[in-house]
Every structure is written in structure tokens, then in C-alpha cells.
Structure 1
Amino acid sequence: MSQLAGIARHDRPRGPIELIESVEVTVDGGLDGDFRGVVRPGGKGRRQVSLIEAGDWDKAMAETGHSLPWWHRRANLLVADFDLPQGGGTRLRLGADVVLEVTQECDPCSRMEEIVPGLQAALTPDWRGGALAKVIVGGTIRIGDSIRIEE
């Protein structure tokens, strides 16, 4: 079963990552306590939430010869047994209430090279760096919640 396997947030750029079991998600603020989620006046909120597939992180780690935890990617949500859509516009339902809309690929940045040499390149193919999304419907999500494409 496809599920939410991890939740992380950080309150400022380059700030420490906080791993949490559950979080409130809102249309205007993204994940509660995460600096990227707040939609600025006139903004579109395309980067409110970042998601990465557990399998893609594992592949990148194998290619670089490392075994760092997923949150080093600085993504908000880790999904397991789920293939993130590779294109904008697809809606995802997390748990009973939350709906996210994929907006674009989460391109790996040079920060990944600071973590592990070669990681930026290992995360580049096939959207391995993950996906970005905006919040369509808020609610609370928890580790273990299901994730599926909203039909």
C-alpha cells in the first residue's frame, strides 16, 4: 500500500530539519512550521510542499555509495510504494482530507553536492529529486497515511 513514510519541516532556509509524526497542512501556510509553505501576496504557492519517493532516494544513495537518511534531501514528505507523477496538474490525496496538486519537478540544487559529492547528478534523472506541490485542501496528515492519485 502506498503511504506517507516520513514528514519533515524546517523553519528557515538552511535551518535544521525537524522530523515529526503528524502535521497540520493549510492552503495558505503549507505544512505548519515549514517556511516554504507560506504563500506570499501575489504568489502561486507552487513550492508549498516537496515530496520524494523512498525508492528514488535509495537509488541515489546507492549510486553515490552512501546511506544517508532521506531528510538530507530537505524534502517535506517521503512516500513509499508510490510513483510520483512526472508532470504538473495531478492531484494527490494524503490520508482522508489533504489534497495536493503537483506543480513541477523538484530539481536537485547545488546544496546536494555539499552533502554528498555526486548526489545532485544522482537525483537528476526521472524526477528522482522529487516533486513540488501546492495545497488544494488542508487537514492533518500522519506517518502511515495512504497516498493516492485523486481521480
Structure 2
Amino acid sequence: MARSSKLVIALLHIFAWSFLDILEISNGTETDIYCLRSIKESLEDPYNNFKSWDFSYNTEDFICKFVGVDCWRIDENKVLNIKLENMGLKGHFPREIENCTSIMGLDLSGNELTGTIPSDISLLLPNVTSLDLSSNNFAGEIPKSIVNCDHLNVLRPIKSL
């Protein structure tokens, strides 16, 4: 009897942890979808590069098929990298990027982004390992908080006005 109750307890633990993993993935998925939708809405896209960013589909991996978006795994909607280089995008640095909670790489180089780089960039991109904001029209200094991006390995030179 003791053996079967231990088995039941073990199975319950496995079920509980599996359920929590599902909740975590769902949470990440919803925030990543919100992140990308917000980025699309906040940037002017004169060359219609965001044409593939169609949020009416709700399949398991639909955002992973967007131009410039890499996911951790093809069967989930968790953003690994956003690569929007040389797309002629206009606007300010998209603060909504903080909702892509699993993002490791961001490349917004070669666009026409203006304004300043957020002073709290390390909070917006806490896990970023690669960041390229070069060849834009950012004004002001590179924020000192960039040194707080603990995992940053690659930083392309940022030319500011």
C-alpha cells in the first residue's frame, strides 16, 4: 500500500510541474505576441516589411514565421531573436520589447530610428546577448545602464547624433 501511495504522490508531482510548465509557456506566448504586435504598431514601416506579421492566425508557431523573428523552438511562440535590420523602419526605440521576455538578440540596425536609446535599456532587455542599434539616427549619449546588460556579448558600435 505504501508503494502505491508513493507512486500516486510522484505522479501528482509530475502532473503539477507539467501543468506549471504549460502555464509558463502560455504566459510567455501571450506576452511575446503582445510584444511583437506593439512593435509593429509603434514603428512606421514604409516598405511593408511587416506584411507577414499577421496576428489573425493563432496557430502554435505563427509568430515564428514572421519576417525577422526567430523562436526558441519552432513549436512555440517564444521569441529568441528579432532581426529587423535595413528595413527603413521609422520611429523611436520600441519600449514594448520588454514584453519579449525570452529575447536574447536584437538587431534594429540600418533603419531610421530617432530619439534616444532608453536609459533603462538593461531593464527592457535583461537577457540580451547581442544588440545592434547601429546606423540609426539616435540622439544623445549611449546610456550608462548598458553596462548592466549582464549577458551582453556583442554590441555593435552605436553612432548617436
TM-score, length-normalised on structure 1? Answer: 0.26
Larger radius of gyration, structure 1 or 2?
A: 2
Q: Which has the higher contact order (CA 8 A, sep 6+)?
A: 1
Which has the larger helix fraction? 2
TM-score, length-normalised on structure 2? Answer: 0.25
